[in-house]
Amino acid sequence: MSSPEDPRAEQGGSPRTPPAAQPDAAPAAGPAAAPAASAAGPAASAATGAAPADAATGPDGAPRRGLAAVLQEEQFSVRDAMGGPRGILESVLPTLLFLVLYVITRDVKVSAIAAVAVVVIALLARLVARQSLSSVLGGLFGVVIGAVWAIRTGEGSDLFAPGLVINAVTLVILLISLLARRPLLGLVISLLDGRVADWAEDPDARRVYTRATAVFIGLYAAKLLVQLPLYLAGAVAALGVAKLVMGLPLFALAAWIVWLMHRALLVRREARALRSQEPGAAPPGPSPSA
């Protein structure tokens, strides 16, 4: 899923009834990191609802951001979902700079090179700080391909062509996973949060992550429906604005909806685990299918 990069909370704790989403919740600072969950203990975590001890940080010890972060939080943070201030800047600045320069100069070459330069600087800054490069590398690949394409054709809209291709491919993959009854969000979330490592055997979890996958299908379909006609019309300024508006803000909205689904599932699973410990209760197992 495109989305800017790319994959945090300060605490895991056992889930309680999910509180109302609070966009102003204080986020943890740090770069994006690889997915979470220690391999030891997913089964116990799933039964008790407790997050793995290292779920809040990645391999480099830096707090997580993006979907990997918000899945561990008991209060939703828009800033974490959008990658924190640095992630937001790295995601928005190349497109914004290209758009501003193109509107002022109408020079595709100057605008495209400036966009590439911004991503390269961000990459070098992370290298110097020995931070994760995953989010920046994805952005660099897309911007460089788009810049080369735009310079060769002389069409500013071609800078956005790789993003449209990525959106289309992601949409197809999500649809295939849904048709195969193995929703992609279930796989992704199980890798990010070991508490639901057994999601494929739990009908309740399969239903939740099927709906979560449908949310992201809607996100990528909306992007294509709005941006593809603008690309075909060569409306560079409108396409750039649409990309900015439908990028991180819409991803944060989709992440919030998925977070609500995920937290509600964890609460139900914990309730079932507690009931199974009562005298005379049946052994714990997956929830019955509806």
For 196-221, how does the pLDDT look when each residue is reduced to its tens digit (9 = 90+)?
Answer: 999 999 999 999 999 999 999 999 99
Of 225, 199, 201, 224, residue with least CA distance to 213: 199
Q: Rounded to 5, what percent of the chain is helix, strand, coil?
A: 65, 0, 35
pLDDT for residue 53: 35
Structural domain includes residue 230: yes
Is-above-0.85 flag for pTM?
A: no
Structural domain includes residue 245: yes
Kindly state the tokens that stand for 58. Answer: 């990645």
What average pLDDT does range 176-192 have in this prediction? Answer: 93
What average pLDDT does range 115-134 have in this prediction? Answer: 84
User: Which position has the higher pLDDT, 242 or 8?
Assistant: 242
In this structure, are residues 84 and 101 in contact, taking their beta carbons and an 8 Å threshold? no
Q: What range defines the domain where residue 129 resides?
A: 84-268
Of 7-21, 89-103, 121-135, the poorest mean pLDDT is in 7-21
Q: How many CB atoms lie within 10 A of CB 289?
A: 9
Residues 101-116: pLDDT tens digits?
999 999 999 999 999 9
Element (H, E) at 72: none
**Position 242 confidence tier, pLDDT thresholds 50, 70, 90:** very high
In 234-247, where does DSSP find H-type helix? Answer: 236-245
Kindly state the tokens that stand for 168. Answer: 């289309």
**Position 248 confidence tier, pLDDT thresholds 50, 70, 90:** confident
Structural domain includes residue 70: no
Structural domain includes residue 94: yes
Structural domain includes residue 22: no
Structural domain includes residue 8: no
Structural domain includes residue 72: no
Kindly state the tokens that stand for 4. Answer: 């800017």
User: Which position has the higher pLDDT, 131 or 239?
Assistant: 239
**Number of structural domains, the chain?**
1
pLDDT for residue 217: 97
| Residue length of the chain | 290
Is the model's pLDDT at 25 over the cut of 60? no
Is the model's pLDDT at 193 over the cut of 70? yes
DSSP 77: B
Share of the chain above pLDDT 70, in %: 71
What average pLDDT does range 28-55 have in this prediction? Answer: 35
Structural domain includes residue 151: yes
